[in-house]
Amino acid sequence: MNNLNKNKQKVNIFPATIVRVLSGRKVVINRGSLHKIFTGQRFLIYTLSDVEIVDPAGENLGYLEIVKGKGKVTHVQEKMSTIESDEKETYSERIVRTPVANPFFEAWGNMAKEEKVERIKPSFVPFDDPQIGDKAKPI
């Protein structure tokens, strides 16, 4: 096999294609150990816009990648792999502490102490509507 064919094969490995949606958090791609995919490898799951983007100067920039999520390979077979969402949802929570009814605190008036705490939910965020035919590439 000459170098041109080797380079062409490397280019065609990615993007991979989603061939099965197991759930909102789990998809199967058409790449596996034959393509050097390994457990723990991270992927970006995305689809392409319907319309090509054109620069105001007239240059065609291609299609926009619309991100559906990020995930980690959890199982590898020879020609396919399972990717599971690994993004965690964060949210802000406001905690307000107020003084108890006590004459000592009444001298302070209504001075409430306010704290902002950021926590991570224990559950993972699903991919954004994964579909068969969506794309996946290593990140």
- CATH class of the structural domain 3-88+123-138: mainly beta
Give the sign of the dihedral formed by CA 66, CA 68, CA 69, CA 75: negative
pLDDT of residue 71: 97
- Residue among 136, 137, 127 nearest 68 (CA): 127
Q: What Å distances lie between residue 113 and 8, 64, 91, 92, 103, CA to CA? A: 63, 46, 20, 17, 18
List the pLDDT tens digit at each of the 139 positions of the chain: 455 555 454 557 899 999 999 999 999 999 999 999 999 999 999 999 999 999 999 999 999 999 999 999 999 999 999 999 998 876 656 655 555 555 555 555 555 555 556 555 556 789 999 999 999 999 9
pLDDT of residue 114: 53
Report whether the peptide linkage leading into residue 103 is cis, meaning its omega lies within 30 degrees of zero.
no
**Which stretches within the chain are classed as H helix?**
3-13, 103-106
Taking the domains of the chain in order of start, what are their residue ranges?
3-88+123-138
